[in-house]
Structure 1
Amino acid sequence: MLKEECKALLDALNKVTACYRHLVLTIGGTADSQNLREELKKTRQKAQELAVANRNKLTTTLKDNSLSKEDKAEFERLWVIFSTCMDLLETDMRRALELGQEFPLNIPKKHIIQTGMSGGTSGVAARAMSVQNMKYDGEHNIDVMDLMDLENEIKQVDEMMHEMEMKVGVPQWTVEAKQNPGAELKCATSAGASSPGTISTEEHKAICDLSKLLAAVVFSAVLFIAIVLAVCVVKLS
């Protein structure tokens, strides 16, 4: 039961970090907006919550001396996957910080707000510009504050990773993989071959054999016609 809980937590973390990476790639593009930045913040915070849950569960489990050799090896493998996932999350967070600094969300100052104020022309213009600048500064400050929060969260992730290594200390090169190299690709190929609209290896071989047989029949027919024509030429001559 504990092993399944750890796997479920790790699977959730992988999905959230993958979603975060997808969102990070859209920063500075045509889909970039305040809504995107808010979604980025929510997603990375969810990823950090799952990271803490994974860390606590795996740390407590790996420090249990009553674990069997097989169970310990399995949890160490999950620990390595978790560490790799955290490395990717930290990399994407740093990328989001760099892109956020490169492409800040600034509201154009030339945008005019219809305030409905009455009064002299100069007075209305001054008050309108004052309201406009307040809105612009507010949006800009939100953007800056989010980048500052992101920078602090990156430091927290670094500290958490360091603390993890100190408490558990599972070198990645000491953990053996459960599958041979390329096993995932072979599974994907087999799954793709068995799916509708694809041709399996056996079917492909049968098609090749049929093509060879058809080619042999055509060649024999052509050869027979050539012999008949040669005989006719000899008789006519």
Structure 2
Amino acid sequence: MVKEECKALLDALSRVTACYRHLVLTIGGTSDSQNLREELKKTRQKAQELAVANRNKLTAVLRDKAVSKEDKAEFERLWVIFSTCLEILETDMRRALELGHDFPLHVPKRPLVQTGMSGGTSGVAARAMSVQNMKYDEADRNIDVVDLKDLEKEIHQVGEMMYEMEMKVNVPQWTVEAKQNPGAELNSAISMGTSSIGMLDEERKPFCHGSKALAGVIFTAVLLVAVILAVCVAKLS
């Protein structure tokens, strides 16, 4: 039961971390907005909540002396995956901090990342970003600064969490054995693709043979008609 709970928490953390990375990549782009920044904040906070839950669960299990050797090996594998997710989250949070400084929201005529989109939108964008059309109060102008300060604190907290994890549970990654050989998933996908192609070829064989037989019959009929016509022409002449 505990193992399934740990796997479910880890799966949720992986999904939220992947979602956060996707959102970070859009900072400074043409789709950047206040909604995006708020979604970034909610997503990273959710990821941190899941990280704390994962840490507490796995730490308690790995420090339990009553856990069997087989179960402990599985929990250690989950611990390594969890540590990797946390490292990815911290990296993306640092990236979001840098991009947030480079692309503040409420700055007139701020530069945007070129996304490859083109068209007659430059005039509209220029008018939308003009100082006359922008009406922000003091709280709106400071929202970037406040959020970036919070992000700095959260990055520090994630770093502290990673350090405490290493102190409480010593699980060197090189001591954890993988459940599959390197490239096993890729080889499995290739073998599945090859078998699918083989099955498709087998399905096509009857059709191919039938097509060849039909082509032979048509060719023979055409040849007979040609011979008959030639004989008729010869008799008439």
TM-score by length of 1: 0.73
User: Which aligned pairs between 1:17-36 and structure 2 lie closer than 5 A?
Assistant: 17-36=17-36
Query: Structure 2 CA distance, aligned partners of 1:95 and 1:185?
Result: 34
Query: Structure 2 CA distance, aligned partners of 1:45 and 1:184?
Result: 34
Query: Structure 2 CA distance, aligned partners of 1:97 and 1:185?
Result: 39
- Find the counterpart in structure 2 of residue 111 from structure 1: 132
- Find the counterpart in structure 2 of residue 127 from structure 1: none
- Find the counterpart in structure 1 of residue 83 from structure 2: 83
Query: Structure 1 CA distance, aligned partners of 2:179 and 2:94?
Result: 32
Change beyond 3 A, Cα 1:16–1:33: same
Deviation at 1:211, TM superposition (A): 11
Change beyond 3 A, Cα 1:184–1:174: same
Q: Is the 8 A contact 1:107 1:139 kept in 2?
A: no
Could you tell me which runs of 5 or more consecutive residues in structure 1 were left unpaired when the two chains were aligned.
114-131, 194-198, 218-237
Q: 1:206 aligns with which of 196, 202, 206?
A: 202
Could you tell me which runs of 5 or more consecutive residues in structure 2 were left unpaired when the two chains were aligned.
109-129, 214-237
- Find the counterpart in structure 2 of residue 95 from structure 1: 95
* % identity of equivalent residues: 66
User: Which aligned pairs between 1:1-237 and structure 2 lie closer than 5 A?
Assistant: 1-108=1-108, 110-111=131-132, 135=137, 137-180=138-181, 181-183=183-185, 186-187=188-189, 190=192, 200-206=196-202
Query: Structure 1 CA distance, aligned partners of 2:51 and 2:3?
Result: 16
Could you give the per-residue CA deviations for residues 76-109 of structure 1, whole angstroms, max 9, x where no partner exists?
0000000000010001000100000000011547
Deviation at 1:207, TM superposition (A): 7.2
Query: Structure 1 CA distance, aligned partners of 2:191 and 2:98?
Result: 38
Q: Pairwise CA RMSD of aligned residues? A: 3.4
Aligned residue pairs total: 208
Change beyond 3 A, Cα 1:89–1:187: same
Could you give the per-residue CA deviations for residues 160-206 of structure 1, whole angstroms, max 9, x where no partner exists?
0000011001000100011123325514863x67xxxxx81323543
